[in-house]
A and B are shown apart, each in its own frame.
Chain A
Amino acid sequence: MMNLFVLQLLNGVQLGVLLFLIAAGLTLVFGIMDVVNLAHGVLYMVGAYFVATFAALTGSFWWGLVLMLPAAVAVGLILEYVVIRRLYTRSHLDQVLATFGLVMIANETVKIVWGVSPLSVPLPEILSGSVPLMDPLRYPVYRIAIIVAGLAVAAGLFVTINHTRIGMLLRAGATNRAMVSALGIDIGKLFAIVFTLGAVLACLAGALVAPILSVDTGMGESVLILTFVVVVIGGIGSIKGAFLGAILVAVVDTLGGVFGPILLRAVLDPSAAGQAGRMLAPMLVYILMAAILFARPAGLFGGRA
């Protein structure tokens, strides 16, 4: 049982860093630009499709990953310029409608361009296989690589936000947008940077996860809701909050998914226990969210409620 706990903890952290990469962009866009972007999951999906395409073209996962980055920047800039820019002054309802429309357009476009069959991305040779953990348990090298890459990006973001000029502007923008603008900062440019940064992070998450999942059109939506929970728990606009929230949500979700059914199996038949456990795990996440919001209405690190 201890073995299982350790394995699941690792799985939780791995899901957590992925959630963080997606949530970081979402919380910045929401916190600084005050835009509710339902299409954020689309960027995650597009990142996965990009890496699948480029890896197939070049025959190497690493080239796929490298080429994905400029493509992600381009998608971010274009989306910001064509759609998001027009939503800054609109109400949240308009933003939800527009970005929801974007989700449907993007999914159909992906189907037209890449077809309906899921794509698969081969694992890079050096990261395939598994390492011994505690005998007889083994853990896939690639999932460890995801954890390392995610933590590195988190550290980089942390330094950027706390110790650079652009980071200072981001923090200021999240706290008081009007004042930043009044001090003579080009808010339009700042917004474009923020949105593109978020887009690249989400694309990166999609690209990292592509070799372990199959690349499919619905993959963005499945992760978006959990990401919003992370943003709300962490506090809107807070990168630190997004990180803690993501790890917390992911660990609760994965541990609950396994230990829920195991505990329930003592009192129910396996089929019913499996079903109830499946429902219990996502419920735990929302119970956690409710509890945190009860204690801290603005989230863990939220500046304003």
Chain B
Amino acid sequence: MTKTKLLASTLLSLAAVPALAQDVPPAAQDDVLKIGLMYTLSGPAAALGEHARDGFMLAAEQMGDIGGMETEIIVVDDEQRPDLAADKARELVQRENVDFVVGPIFSNILVAIHQPVTETGTILISTNAGTSNFAGADCHPNFFVTSYQNDQNHEVMGAYAQQQGYENVFLMAPNYQAGKDSLAGFKHSYTGGIAGEVFTELGQLDFSSELAQIAAFQPDALFTFMPGGMGVNLVKQYDQAGLSSIPFLSAFTVDETTLPATQDAALGLLGGQNWAPDLDNEANAAFVEAFIEKYDYVPGTYAMQAYDAAQLIQSAVSKLDGDLTDRDALRAALKEADFDSPRGDFSFGVNNYPVQDFYLVEAVKRDDGRYATSIREKIFDDYVDTYADQCEMQ
């Protein structure tokens, strides 16, 4: 008898599995709004994940029941390991039955969790990683991005270098895919001469050799992409080597996650971003003030983009009065992006990637003694990424 029961329950559970592959995930049929946050919260890059998590949680706290639904948020750490992230993403959609997965920080994690999440009909909202494949040919109706396409920040700096009339720029990036993409992105909008192009080892901490080359070549400017601890070291050593007279252009190197460590050494260094804490609009002033009040540090773009993901979910769920079963209506509501972003203009392009403005930012010390990036000038207006044409989604 027990054997029969066992067999029966096994068969039942097997029969339940294909339901996952249908367009309406079981999560949509209950009254609870469940959101899974997946960020890198341990290891050297943990600060980026913390900014994003705190940004989302701030919005969630301000909203209470998001879109009027009882809300449950599950936070998971992907440990910056794609294999682990894919497993945890499957767990979120299949066991926890979440309605939305929000995250991650890193592109290689995004590539790993994209299919496990979107194929079940669950909505994936990336608040940082925006790879070229999902912006172009592999765009997906269940995938939204509230950050940018990865190349764009580099293109901003390329455009700035071009505009300044630099003829001799020294390029430096770590030797891995994102590093090569970065320099390619820079050269996409910069056509002047290259003084030198150096690929450093990923994780390198002493840049004395590279700085010696920069000092010897005396280029018009340096463009670099050195995320995390590498950037902290490079900025400190750049300052110590007395190279500050050479303009330092960067992407993902000088921001609110590294400024607490580099402090004065980074002042005056330039970067490309879609926002900065001092961007002048009402929504932004409220966001930055509430964030500092709650967490006692200045939010970076990672926090702002996650905050917007929460606002995006809220706007769509309210429109549908909490009924998530009509998936086409849900996707359409999300695509409207009907909320006030701290970055000002925000809409989705055909590929569900943002169409937004980009700015040249500079590291400054605020009046309260904290360090932050500050808007210097707008470089691109309503900028659409270069891969959107390849997306065949309507």
Contacts and interface: CB of A to CB of B under 8 A. Distances in A.
Interface string B188-201: 00000000011111
Given A4-B213, A14-B208, A214-B233, A138 B46 contact: no
Contacts of A275: 175, 199
A133 to B, nearest CB: 9
A254 interface: yes
B240 A123 contact: yes
A212 B242 contact: no
Contacts of A138: 215, 241-243
A214 B208 CA distance: 14
B236 interface: yes
A214 B261 contact: yes
B209 A8 contact: yes
A7 B216 contact: yes
A143 B216 contact: no
B360 to A, nearest CB: 26
A7 B215 contact: yes
Interface in B213-271: 213, 215-216, 218, 229, 232-233, 236-237, 240-243, 261
Nearest to B45: A117
Given A118-B44, A271-B199, A214 B175 contact: no
Interface in B329-361: none
Nearest to B208: A11
B84 interface: no
Nearest to A2: B216
A303 interface: no
B43 interface: yes
B205 interface: yes
B133 interface: no
Interface string A100-137: 00000000000000001110100100001110000011
Interface residues of B, number: 31
B46 A257 contact: no
A14 B237 CA distance: 14
A292 to B, nearest CB: 24
Nearest to A115: B46
A117 B216 contact: no
B261 A274 contact: no
Given A120-B261, A270-B199, A140 B209 contact: no
Interface string A260-279: 01000000001100110010
Interface string A32-48: 00000000000000000
Contacts of A141: 240
Contacts of A142: 240
B21 to A, nearest CB: 38
B50 to A, nearest CB: 10
Nearest to B217: A4
B212 to A, nearest CB: 4
A1 interface: yes
B240 A129 contact: yes
Nearest to A131: B242
A80 interface: no
B281 interface: no
Given A3-B216, A4-B215, A213-B205, 4 more contacts: A4-B212, A7-B216, A120-B236, A270-B199
9 contacts: A11-B209, A117-B44, A138-B215, A142-B240, A216-B205, A219-B205, A257-B209, A258-B209, A278-B175
Interface of A: 1, 3-4, 7-8, 11, 14-15, 116-118, 120, 123, 128-130, 136-143, 212-214, 216, 219, 254, 257-258, 261, 270-271, 274-275, 278
Interface of B: 42-44, 46-47, 175, 180, 197-201, 205-206, 208-209, 212-213, 215-216, 218, 229, 232-233, 236-237, 240-243, 261
Complex A-B, nearest 4 residue pairs according to Cβ-Cβ distance, in ascending order: A130-B242, A138-B242, A4-B216, A274-B199
